[in-house]
Amino acid sequence: MAERGLVASESLAGCRPRAARTVLGQVVLPGEELLLPEQEETDGPGVAGERPLRLNAGVRSRLRVVCGPGLRRCGDRLLVTKCGRLRHKEPGCGSSGGIYWVDSQQKRYVPVKGDHVIGIVTAKSGDIFKVDVGGSEPASLSYLAFEGATKRNRPNVQVGDLIYGQFVVANKDMEPEMVCIDSCGRANGMGVIGQDGLLFKVTLGLIRKLLAPDCEIIQEVGKLYPLEIVFGMNGRIWVKAKTIQQTLILANILEACEHMTADQRKQIFARLAES
Amino acid sequence: MAGLELLSDQGYRVDGRRAGELRKIQARMGVFAQADGSAYIEQGNTKALAVVYGPHEIRGSRSRALPDRALVNCQYSSATFSTGERKRRPHGDRKSCEMGLQLRQTFEAAILTQLHPRSQIDIYVQPLRGVVSLQVLQADGGTYAACVNAATLAVLDAGIPMRDFVCACSAGFVDGTALADLSHVEEAAGGPQLALALLPASGQIALLEMDARLHEDHLEWVLEAAAQAARDVHTLLDRVVRQHVHEASILLGD
């Protein structure tokens, strides 16, 4: 087919490793290898080195670069393992080289330490609650991990309750553990989520977007109806408004946000605000 | 088959393609909302649908859990209407089991299973063949290739880490020439057919399958034709994935 000639140039993308800096913001696919800034000068001919001549060539400044989700270290290069856009964040204090990661779209959550998630209590065995967080294993939650809980004063948690907590242990080798207190011992918004309301699931990318600092969607939704909303990084959102109808409208809007452009969204909000 | 020339004197095949040309490929990702990842691919007249769930808890017996890797479970089921004669049992027959095993071996080579120990990744593929004639359809390589390509896209859609794409293609050998991407007419003719699954970036072979007789001198040509066709498939799938990611990130407002 004629497509073979046209796309021959794109297939070279997988053959030669490219510098990570040049690919920022572009789509990367599994199988591609990326070069870190300090390796660019040792690449073959054809890559222009931008570093000035150094006076003591013996000492190389080592940049410590962190590989985020979607990237693996393979030798001295980065191997891309998920499809998405490559992002980079400069470090706060300038000694390390920053973080590179791949922004990918996903529905299935993998527990990460420090993430705040919404879980559903599925079992109570002895002193531990088993909480389903949408990952590959149920997380465990001790009854003492609530604010003001002691052996005499047990928290009132039943099977089927919704819990908002954070992970203290989350790696691939161990069962994830979560708690509902922060490091000072205060609840800080975590714990059992109250009665009523609606829990629904969205993709992880939408959650990250909604939790970004200046999210327009949340501001617009807040102007529509008074509501309570909890976002879990595992793709779950709990929402509660005054009436069931308003709750359902909010849930539908948030689920549909992913597939709408900004203009369509504004139209819908305008129509709802009128009625 | 008397009267049917698989390769004409000018080098054209039955459907007008050249020896190394692929059939038209169209693919879409994210066709199922309820699955973690899904994809649909059409290669000529062969269509395949792949759905991926995972990584999730091991279903069934806990003893199957592997302590250091994820369990990859592939199931191949042909729909009852997808072949020339209506089949009653889509699951559990030998062909489905063997195909499922081959798919599992292929994907265990590509998916980074060490990142999800004691969990399970399910890949379900379903080929749908448009019936083009009343001939009895034989076991074929075009189905395996379409299933692997669809499953790769579905695994990428699910966000499961992979070390590379897996691209597959079939190849045959007729009249001293290696043919790439056999259509079902060419498969039914009974010549040697080879199915190859390749990891394009490193050039490594994930699975190579042939059950026919082929002279060893010809093996290299057929293998090279299949490898080149798999790389062409990679180029096309690459474009599909980029398009999908581009659209998804535009809607999220990047």
Using the 3D structure, point to which of A167, A192, A217 is the last residue of a domain.
A192
Please state, in angstroms and rounded to a whole number, the distance separating the CA atoms of residues A35 and A20: 6
| Contacting residues of A for B15, CB less than 8 Å apart | none
Residues 6+ apart with CB under 8 A from B234: A11, A14, B165, B167, B198, B200
Which positions 42-61 of B are in contact with A (Cβ < 8 Å)?
54-57
CB atoms A103 and B120 under 8 Å: no
State pLDDT tens for residues A115-127.
999 999 999 998 9
What is the per-residue pLDDT for B81? 54
The CATH number assigned to the domain holding A261 equals 3.30.1370.10
Helix (H) or strand (E) holding A201: strand A198-201
State pLDDT tens for residues A2-42.
444 333 334 444 457 788 788 888 899 998 888 877 654 44
B45 vs A180: which has the higher pLDDT: A180
**Which one, of A5, A1, A6, lies nearest residue B23 by Cα?**
A1
Provide mean pLDDT across the span B94-115: 91
Choose the closest CB to A1 out of B22, B114, B238.
Answer: B22
Assess if residue A257 is contained within a domain. yes
| Contacting residues of A for B248, CB less than 8 Å apart | 105, 205
- What's A31's DSSP letter? T
Residue A150: give the domain boundaries.
115-192
Provide mean pLDDT across the span B206-218: 89
Q: How confident is the model at residue A61 (pLDDT cuts 50, 70, 90)?
A: low
Nearest-Cα distance to chain B for A211, in Å, is: 13
**A96 and A22: one domain?**
yes
Choose the closest CB to A83 out of B201, B241, B251.
Answer: B241
Token representation of residue A188: 């800080």
Listing DSSP states for B75-118 in one string gives EE---TTSSSS--S--SSSHHHHHHHHHHHHHHHHHB-GGGSTT
Assess if residue A47 is contained within a domain. no
Assess if residue A77 is contained within a domain. yes
The CATH number assigned to the domain holding A75 equals 2.40.50.100
Cross-strand pairs, B208:
B196
Q: How confident is the model at residue A204 (pLDDT cuts 50, 70, 90)?
A: very high
**A234 and A269: one domain?**
yes
Please state, in angstroms and rounded to a whole number, the distance separating the CA atoms of residues A216 and A209: 10
**Which one, of B43, B66, B71, lies nearest residue B236 by Cα?**
B43
Lowest mean pLDDT segment, chosen from A122-131, A226-235, B184-193: B184-193
Nearest-Cα distance to chain A for B123, in Å, is: 14
Please state, in angstroms and rounded to a whole number, the distance separating the CA atoms of residues A133 and A141: 11
Using the 3D structure, point to which of A154, A176, A192 is the last residue of a domain.
A192
Token representation of residue B98: 């063997």
B67: nearest CA partner in chain A: A173
Q: How confident is the model at residue A67 (pLDDT cuts 50, 70, 90)?
A: confident
CA distance to A163, A170, A218, B116, B121, per residue, from B55 (Å): 22, 15, 31, 7, 5
Beta strand pairing call for A236-241 and B37-43: unpaired
Assess if residue A258 is contained within a domain. yes
Assess if residue A91 is contained within a domain. yes
What is the per-residue pLDDT for B130? 59
Looking at chain B, list the stretches that DSSP marks H as alpha helix, in order from N- to C-terminal side.
94-110, 141-158, 184-188, 216-251
Is B13 an interface residue toward A (CB < 8 Å)?
no
State pLDDT tens for residues A140-183.
999 999 998 999 999 999 999 999 999 999 998 899 999 999 98
Assess if residue B136 is contained within a domain. yes
CB atoms B201 and A260 under 8 Å: no
Provide mean pLDDT across the span A248-263: 88
Phi-psi region of A46 (alpha: psi -120 to 50; beta: other; left: phi over 0): left
Answer whether the bond into residue A52 is a cis peptide, omega within 30°.
no
CB atoms B156 and A82 under 8 Å: yes
A255: nearest CA partner in chain B: B33
Helix (H) or strand (E) holding A206: helix A204-210
- Residues A185 and A148 sit within 8 Å (Cβ to Cβ): no
Assess if residue A57 is contained within a domain. no
Residue B157: give the domain boundaries.
25-252
Using the 3D structure, point to which of A172, A192, A212 is the last residue of a domain.
A192
> Is A266 in a helix, a strand, or coil?
helix
Q: How confident is the model at residue B251 (pLDDT cuts 50, 70, 90)?
A: confident
Assess if residue A127 is contained within a domain. yes
Please state, in angstroms and rounded to a whole number, the distance separating the CA atoms of residues B55 and A118: 19
**A147 and A211: one domain?**
no
B164: nearest CA partner in chain A: A31
What is the per-residue pLDDT for B132? 46
Nearest-Cα distance to chain A for B28, in Å, is: 15
What is the per-residue pLDDT for B140? 43
**A129 and A100: one domain?**
no
ipTM of the modeled complex: 0.81
Structural domain total, chain A: 3
| Contacting residues of B for A103, CB less than 8 Å apart | 249, 254
Is A29 an interface residue toward B (CB < 8 Å)?
yes
Residue in the block written with tokens 């907590």: A165
Choose the closest CB to A259 out of B201, B202, B251.
Answer: B251
The CATH number assigned to the domain holding B37 equals 3.30.230.70
Is B248 an interface residue toward A (CB < 8 Å)?
yes
State pLDDT tens for residues B133-150.
333 333 345 888 999 999
Please state, in angstroms and rounded to a whole number, the distance separating the CA atoms of residues B175 and A211: 63
Choose the closest CB to B241 out of A29, A70, A107.
Answer: A29
- What's B65's DSSP letter? -
What is the per-residue pLDDT for A11? 41
Listing DSSP states for A61-94 in one string gives PPP-EEE-TTEEEETTEEEE-S-EEEEEE--SST
**A187 and A204: one domain?**
no
CA distance to A155, B23, B107, B145, per residue, from B142 (Å): 59, 11, 18, 5
Please state, in angstroms and rounded to a whole number, the distance separating the CA atoms of residues A123 and B57: 16
Helix (H) or strand (E) holding A272: helix A262-274
Q: How confident is the model at residue B128 (pLDDT cuts 50, 70, 90)?
A: confident
Beta strand pairing call for A98-103 and A84-89: antiparallel
Token representation of residue B245: 């990611």
**Which one, of A274, A225, A275, lies nearest residue A254 by Cα?**
A225
Token representation of residue A271: 């129509």
**Beta sheet of A77-80, edge-to-edge order:** A18-19, A33-35, A77-80, A71-74
**A137 and A161: one domain?**
yes
Phi-psi region of A255 (alpha: psi -120 to 50; beta: other; left: phi over 0): alpha
> Is B26 in a helix, a strand, or coil?
strand
Is B231 an interface residue toward A (CB < 8 Å)?
yes
Assess if residue B9 is contained within a domain. no
Please state, in angstroms and rounded to a whole number, the distance separating the CA atoms of residues A147 and B158: 37
Assess if residue B7 is contained within a domain. no
Amino acid of residue A137: E
- Best of B169, B238, B240, B254 to disrupt the A interface (most A CBs within 10 Å) is B238
| Contacting residues of B for A29, CB less than 8 Å apart | 156, 165, 238, 241-242
Cross-strand pairs, A72:
A79
Residue in the block written with tokens 């030998």: B94
For the cut 50, the answer to whether the pLDDT of residue A45 exceeds it is no
In degrees and rounded to multiples of 5, residue B169 shows phi and psi of: -155, 160
Cross-strand pairs, A142:
A128
Structural domain total, chain B: 1
Assess if residue B72 is contained within a domain. yes
Listing DSSP states for A115-134 in one string gives -EEEEEEEEEETTEEEEE-S
Is B116 an interface residue toward A (CB < 8 Å)?
yes
Assess if residue B193 is contained within a domain. yes
What is the per-residue pLDDT for A58? 52
What is the per-residue pLDDT for A21? 80
In degrees and rounded to multiples of 5, residue B77 shows phi and psi of: -135, 130
Assess if residue A58 is contained within a domain. no
CB atoms B245 and A209 under 8 Å: no
**A213 and A251: one domain?**
yes
Cross-strand pairs, B97:
none
**A214 and A253: one domain?**
yes
